[in-house]
Amino acid sequence: MRHRWSWTPSTPPSPTGSVCVASNDSEPSGGAVPGPEDAAPQSAAPQSAALDVAALDVAALDVAALDVAALDVAALDVAALDVAAPQTFAPSVAAPVAAAPNVPALVPDSVYRPIIGLPTYAERARFGSWDIDCTLLPRGYADLVHEAGGIPVLLPPIGVPAPGLLDRLDGIVLTGGADIDPARYAAAADPATRGLRPDRDGFEFELFALARARSMPVLAICRGLQLVNVALGGTLLQHLPDVLGHTGHNPTPGAFTKTLVATTAGSAVAAIAGLEVTAHCHHHQAIDRLAEELFASAYSVDGIIEAVETRTGPFLVGVQWHPEADATDHRLMAALVTAAATYGEERDR
């Protein structure tokens, strides 16, 4: 059964606030009785309160599953047995084992976690003793999806996506990356436009078209925002320093810069993130002519469009900045996850 994931968009969700820790057999904590394998070793375990044998539910005991070999008969403390009152027994109980660090708690069955597709790079990468072609994506994207309540799934740019792929997804994040081929908006390439990735272009333009046809929620980030604008008929400024006379949106290669962004009152972005956002930016291109289906919902102080959305229809929000670079702010991703959970539930009814 699928259930609605809901939260207030203006309040970032806690990664653990809506989950419970489960035992090894996936039953929520509090209902499972620790077995011998769960006990921490102790030299002198404290005695617990007496166990009321008269109230013992014998029918609940799984005798077939009893591990007799695990009983240490030689260590049995006979003195602890109250012979005068045979209905009670004071066993030795070890302290519970602490939860393992960095292991996420399991989400209960009552919460539906939507599956979010993340298009990836196909790049040469080095790690350990390897130098090979890889499918990869900065981890911040997957972490942010997880922390917002979704399940991240990486989508490599292989050919074009099959329509059946969308049957397995509830939402999409169009991720950042290389410049889009200017031929897609009928422009000649600027000398500063380089590092094109035709495999990503082909895969992601089709992925976006399939998602739109299904009214699937989409969050578009940096390159993703530019892709949405081009796919819907808009164009791009190919090199902002030539237009603005400064490199403020991308001053240092390989590093994000903080940019103050003002959102448009009444827009979805303003409702999600507030009227001002300290955005983590790293881009040398931006929207030039805005597609007719979109409206600009945020601007930088130098007039560059920093966010877009649609006025009606399914969730479609694009931001020129990188929310995955700010580990303290889950609001945009959580809004996508909320929309994706609703989409998934309604589709499967």
Q: Which residues are part of the catalytic machinery?
A: 222, 322, 324
**Rounded CA separation 39/181 (Å):** 60
Q: What is the largest CA-CA distance in the chain?
A: 96
Q: Is the dihedral of CA 331, 222, 169, 345 positive or negative?
A: positive
**Contact indicator for 334, 290 with CB cutoff of 8 Å:** no
Q: Tell me how far apart the alpha carbons of residues 298 and 293 are, in angstroms, rounded to a whole number.
A: 16
Distance CA 319, CA 279 (A): 9
Helix axis angle, 223-231 relative to 198-213, nearest 10°? 60
Q: Strand, coil or helix: what is 141? A: helix
- C-alpha distance from residue 68 to each of 63, 77, 266 (Å): 10, 17, 67
CA distance 321 to 140: 13
Enter the DSSP assignment of 100. Answer: P
Torsion angle, alpha carbons of 305, 144, 317, 175, to 10? 70
